[in-house]
Amino acid sequence: MESNKITYPWPIITEEIEEAVVQQLHTTLGTYDRSGITKEFEDKFKEIHKSKFALVTSSGTAALHSAFYALDLGPGDEVICTDYTFFATAMPLFQLGVVPVLADCDPNGGLAATEIDRLITKKTKAVVLTHMWGNPCEMDAILDRCQKYNLRLVEDCSHAHGATYKGQHVGTFGDIGIWSLQSQKIIAAGEAGILVTNDRTCYDKAQLLGHFNKRALKEMDPSSPLYQYAITGTGLKYRPAALGLAIANKQLDYLEQWINAKNRNAERVQSIIGEVDGIKFLKGAGDFSRSAYYAFTFTIDPKIAPFSREELVSCMHSFGFKDIDIPNSTSCLHRYPIFQKPISPVYSYQNDICIRGDYPNSKFISDHLVKISVPIDDHKGSKGRFFVDSFETIWKKAKEKLCTLIQKN
C-alpha cells in the first residue's frame, strides 16, 4: 500500500480462498442443479439466516427480479420502494410491468414507515426496502404497516451482509430477502446474488424464472401446478459461476468476525471525526441494531458545517487518502428519467405515476453524503489498522487546512 495513496483493497484474497478456487477449478466451473458448491454455499447461507430455502442467482438484480416474480407481481400492480437506493432495487419491477411508487427515506436513509401510510392505494401489493450502507431499517414499524395493509415485503440487503435488527439477521423479516454478491460487496463472488425465503411457493416460482431443468426438476414441489414448467422454466437463466461461489463460500466463514471488526473500526472513525457542526452520522434503527458498515457514512450540511463535502473529499484526496468519496451511483430514484416516464417491455404505462412527493430526506442525504471504506480487520499490523491510523492523521491535516482557509476568507 503506497504511503501517498491510502486505499483499502477489496476483496481480500487469502491463501484459503485461493485454495478453494483452485479446488473448484479442478471440480467444475458450473452446476446445473443444487449440488456441489451451489448446495454448500446455499446451505451455509440459509443456516446463518435460519431460513428454509436459499437460491443463488447470477446477480443481486437477478435475485430481486426472481423475488418480485415469485410474489406474483404483474402489470399495473404497485410496489412502494424507497427513493434513496441504488436503482437496481426497483429496476426489475419494470420487467414485470409493475409500478414502483417512490417513498421518502427517514433521516438515516432507510425507508420511512409512515410513507407506506401516505402512498397505499388499492393497487399496492408489496414493499421493497434497502438496508442502506448496511444500516438496518426500522423493521417493527415497517412490518406493522405491511401486516395492516396485507402487503408482501422484499428486503434488499445488498449492503447489509451480517447486519442484525434486535438480534435477527436482516433479510429474514419479510417474505423474501436478497443479497448482491458483486465484487465490492462484503461477501464478494465477483458477480452473483442470493435470496432466502420460508415460503415454498416463492422458492418454486423463483426457480422457474432462472433455474430451469435439472435444478427445478429436483427442487420444485412435484404436486405444484407450476411443476409442469420445470424443464423449460419461463425463459431466463440466472445461474452463477461456480468459481465465484467458491470465494463467497469461504468468505462466509469469516462474516461474523468481519462485521465485529467493521463495527469497531467504524466506532474509531466516528471518534476521530468527533463532533463537528453540520456533520451527522447515519446509523441503523436504534441501539438494538448492528450495522454491517458496507461503508461509514455521514452528511455534511454546508449551511452549518465549516466546509462542504466537496471541499472535504478534495482535501483528503490531496493528502493521499483516496477511500473517501461522494457516492454518485446511489442517488434519488426520482431524478432518473425511467421513474419520470416509465417504460417496460411488457406493459404500456399510461397514467401510472412513480413520483408522488417531494422526498426531502432522500434529497438531503443524496446531495450531502460522504462515505468512507470500513476495514474488516483491526489487529496490530493489519491493513485495516494502518488504514484507520492513516485516516486519523490525514483527517486532522485536512480539517486544519480547511478551517484555516475558511478563516482567511
Q: Looking at residue 32, what is its pLDDT?
A: 94
For residue 66, what are the contacts with CB-CB under 8 A and spacing of at least 6?
A: 55, 57, 178, 195, 206, 209, 210, 238
Give mean pLDDT, residues 4-13.
87
Pairing of strands 168-169, 164-165: antiparallel
Q: What is the pLDDT of residues 265-305, one digit of tens each?
A: 999 999 999 999 999 999 998 788 999 999 999 999 999 99
Give mean pLDDT, residues 320-333.
94
* CA triple 213-217-218, angle to 5 deg: 125
Q: Looking at residue 362, what is its pLDDT?
A: 98
Q: Looking at residue 403, what is its pLDDT?
A: 80
Q: What is the pLDDT of residues 117-128, one digit of tens each?
A: 999 999 999 999
Q: Could you say which DSSP state residue 25 is in?
A: H
Q: Categorize the per-residue pLDDT at 3 as very low, low, confident or very high, splitting at 50, 70 and 90.
A: very low
Q: Categorize the per-residue pLDDT at 5 as very low, low, confident or very high, splitting at 50, 70 and 90.
A: confident
- Measured distance between the N- and C-terminal CA atoms of the chain, rounded to whole angstroms: 36
Question: 63 and 194 in contact (C-beta within 8 Å)?
Answer: yes
Q: Looking at residue 408, what is its pLDDT?
A: 57
Sequence ranges of the chain with CATH classification 3.90.1150.10:
255-329+363-408
Q: Looking at residue 386, what is its pLDDT?
A: 95
The answer on pLDDT for 1 being more than 80 is no
Residue among 181, 182, 137, 141 at smallest CA distance from 155 = 137
Q: Looking at residue 409, what is its pLDDT?
A: 52
Q: Looking at residue 25, what is its pLDDT?
A: 96
Sequence ranges of the chain with CATH classification 3.40.640.10:
15-253
Instruction: Sort 349 into a burial class: Cβ within 10 Å, 0-12 / 13-18 / 19+.
Output: middle
The answer on pLDDT for 322 being more than 60 is yes
Q: How many CA atoms lie within 13 A of 335 on its CB side?
A: 14
Residue among 165, 407, 200, 202 at smallest CA distance from 286 = 165
Q: What is the pLDDT of residues 172-223, one digit of tens each?
A: 999 999 999 999 999 999 999 999 999 999 999 999 999 999 999 999 999 9
Q: Looking at residue 306, what is its pLDDT?
A: 92
Q: What is the mean pLDDT of the chain?
A: 96
Q: Using the Cα atoms of residue 148, residue 167, residue 67 and residue 181 in order, give the sign of their dihedral.
A: positive
Q: What's the pTM value of the predicted model, to 2 decimals?
A: 0.96
Q: What is the pLDDT of residues 235-271, one digit of tens each?
A: 999 999 999 999 999 999 999 999 999 999 999 999 9
Amino acid at 255: L
DSSP string, 44-93: HHHHHTT-SEEEEESSHHHHHHHHHHHTT--TT-EEEEESEE-GGGTHHH
Give mean pLDDT, residues 373-390.
94
Q: Looking at residue 407, what is its pLDDT?
A: 58
Instruction: Sort 95 into a burial class: Cβ within 10 Å, 0-12 / 13-18 / 19+.
Output: middle
Domain spanning 15-253: CATH 3.40.640.10: yes
Residue among 57, 71, 279, 292 at smallest CA distance from 161 = 292
Residue among 108, 102, 113, 47 at smallest CA distance from 79 = 102
Q: Which CATH architecture has domain 255-329+363-408?
A: Alpha-Beta Complex (3.90)
The owner of cell 449492503 is 159
| Cα–Cα dist 320/336, whole Å | 33
Instruction: Sort 122 into a burial class: Cβ within 10 Å, 0-12 / 13-18 / 19+.
Output: exposed
CA dihedral 370, 376, 378, 381 (to 10 degrees): -110
Share of the chain above pLDDT 70, in %: 98
| Cα–Cα dist 82/362, whole Å | 9
> Which carries the bigger pLDDT value, residue 290 or residue 381?
290
Q: Looking at residue 406, what is its pLDDT?
A: 58
Q: How many CA atoms lie within 13 A of 364 on its CB side?
A: 19
CA 233 to chain centre: 27
